[in-house]
Amino acid sequence: MADAEAKFDLITRRLQEVLGGESIKAILAEGKTPKCYWGTAPTGRPHIGYFVPLTKIADFLRAGVEVKILLADVHAFLDNMKAPLELVAHRTKYYQHVLLAVFKSLGIPTSKLHFVEGSSYQLTKEYNLDNYRLCAIVTEHDAKKAGAEVVKQVESPLLSGLLYPGLQALDEQYLECDFQFGGVDQRKIFTFAELYLPRLGYKKRAHLMNPMVPGLGGGKMSSSDPNSKIDFLDPPEVVRKKIKSAFCEEGNIEENGVISFVEAVLIPISQLRLERLHGDTGADSEEGQEAVGDQTPFALEGAPEGTVFSIFRKEDYGGSLHYKSAKELKDDFTAKKLHPKDLKTAVADAIVKLLTPIREAFEASEEWKEVEKLAYPDPNAKPEKKKKVKVYHPPPPGKGKNAQQITEGEVAAAVPAPPPGQEIVQAAVELAKEEKPSA
């Protein structure tokens, strides 16, 4: 893995597009460590589509890349006010819990990852001055175009959405990265950064893009549509139900979320595990040491060497199928040699296997459970009724059922005590009156 070309191949394998790859090659050729950042805005609940970039990060670590994970809390707030700042703070913690659990389930050493919250530097004087400098040269047209695939589009956009692309561009400078990694839906923001950062006097970075995984219904997998995606904490019965109802037309591999998930997630993870079994982890000697859960490839026992995905079938239906690549599987599906029902069963089993250690980590962490309640409160939950505590307030003087007693007491207290000896004199006078003879 010391060879620079081999490292570059590992960094770029299975990517949909690479912009500025020559700069990464130059860094590797000099024997230096490339620095990368991948960011995510903590808005909706993260789903299994995140396995695509997180699995790719394993390749970066194997190639010796230094990786920073940006939890873009400020971006999350700016994205058309999806959540208030207090909620974003809870969601940022939730995302970190999820990402750490996923990395461990993939066998990726978390000690080599650097988590950074955007607000830790995006509120500084220097960053904001650069933002103002950028605003002074960026047109509304360019800002709106750059965020078209990422920022929610509305008829009358908020200014916050127009700031989003510029902030993401500045992140490259302030996180000191050599390349930014993201989905192909980020392409317009990436080219925006390549255009404008040099105008501020900063170097142009490279950009690496992974393919986007279609949702279960065929469109984009979205956090806001629970039927299009599978949550990291979905139980097995929910996973199987969602996969069973997913769009997977026989012979059709276009906009097929099930096929795409096998190609973009299951086979790459299976390949990582297979390589790890053979001792091939590149520069990442710690890979697999923190792994939890079943780390075997998605291949049946007795499968041919090199199998990365197996599909169980009874002998009456032709026996099990074994594939060494996504292309082989797609070819069989297109030729209708592989039935959607068999494919869905195998995919559901693999996803359940993937999610089991993540759900177990959640169940074992009281902190994570509490954070989830705060980050994604149940919209249908009824507010707790607080019991009214009766506080006794004594009635004012002269009021209430003890008014007479209180009044007499107060009157008695108000009469001044007779001077010393007066009581005896008064008694003698009264006695004399009684003894005086009547006329």
Tens-digit pLDDT string for the chain (439 aa)? 469 999 999 999 999 999 999 999 999 999 999 999 999 999 999 999 999 999 999 999 999 999 999 999 999 998 756 678 899 999 999 999 999 999 999 998 888 899 999 999 999 999 999 999 999 999 999 999 998 888 776 778 788 889 999 999 999 999 999 999 999 999 999 999 999 999 999 999 999 999 988 888 765 555 556 667 899 999 999 999 999 999 999 999 988 999 999 999 999 999 999 999 988 888 777 887 778 888 999 999 999 999 999 999 999 999 999 999 999 999 999 999 999 999 999 999 999 999 999 999 999 999 999 999 999 998 877 766 666 666 666 767 666 555 555 445 554 555 555 555 555 546 555 655 555 555 4
Q: Is residue 373 part of a domain?
A: no
For residue 74, the tally of other CB atoms under 10 A from its CB is 24
Q: CA 309, CA 261: separation in Å to the nearest integer? A: 12
Q: Label residue 263 exposed, middle or buried (CB < 10 Å: 0-12, 13-18, 19+).
A: buried
Helix, strand, coil percent values for the chain (each to nearest 5): 50, 10, 40
Q: Is residue 33 part of a domain?
A: yes
- Give the count of domains, the chain: 1
pLDDT value at residue 287: 82
Q: CA 200, CA 150: separation in Å to the nearest integer? A: 24
pTM given for the model: 0.82
Backbone angles phi, psi at 20, to 5 degrees: 80, 30
DSSP state at residue 199 = G
Tokens standing for residue 13: 């394998």
* Residues 6 or more apart whose Cβ sits within 8 Å of residue 311: 320, 321, 322, 323, 338, 342, 343, 345, 346
Tokens standing for residue 363: 């169940």
CATH of residue 40's domain is 3.40.50.620
Q: Is residue 439 part of a domain?
A: no
Q: Is residue 381 part of a domain?
A: no
Q: Is residue 380 part of a domain?
A: no
Rg (CA), the chain: 35
Q: Is residue 424 part of a domain?
A: no
pLDDT value at residue 420: 55
Range(s) of the domain holding residue 122? 4-363
Q: CA 364, CA 19: separation in Å to the nearest integer? A: 42
Q: Where are the beta strands (DSSP E) in 51-142?
A: 66-71, 113-117
Q: Is residue 436 part of a domain?
A: no
Q: Is residue 409 part of a domain?
A: no
Backbone angles phi, psi at 207, to 5 degrees: -140, 130
